[in-house]
Structure 1
């Protein structure tokens, strides 16, 4: 049986809190006081930009090996 990793559990909890806050705000109820909206927006923007940068660049050893294979196969300009 495969165990669920901690990252998956944390992301699932954060997703649940986010949706709970959306529903509470939608029904004019007090949302869960995690952070203010501006901090959340900045945080999500930062995380999305770092993730996009990391995924679109060959940073890790595995990524550099993938780039070599793509270049050898003429699949990359």
Structure 2
């Protein structure tokens, strides 16, 4: 699935993305590290992988990497 990087904190290696419908979804350092990235800038197009979150929660991002064409 594609999204747009919205926030990123290099100290915690966590942040959030905006899905194409505008829904913000947060990611943690494990998802960032799984993608092998060193830095992420707001506005960059990214590819994410998700799994269902806890009951009542939205999707949980398991991977964030740059979208390549």
Whether these two folds match at TM > 0.5 is no
Question: Normalized against structure 1, the TM-score is what?
Answer: 0.19
TM-score by length of 2: 0.20
**Comparing both chains, which one has the higher relative contact order based on Cα–Cα distances under 8 Å and sequence gaps of 6 or more?**
2
Relative to total residues, which structure has the larger strand share, 1 or 2? 2
Task: Return the index of the structure with the highest Cα Rg.
Answer: 1
Q: As a proportion of its length, which structure holds more helix? A: 1
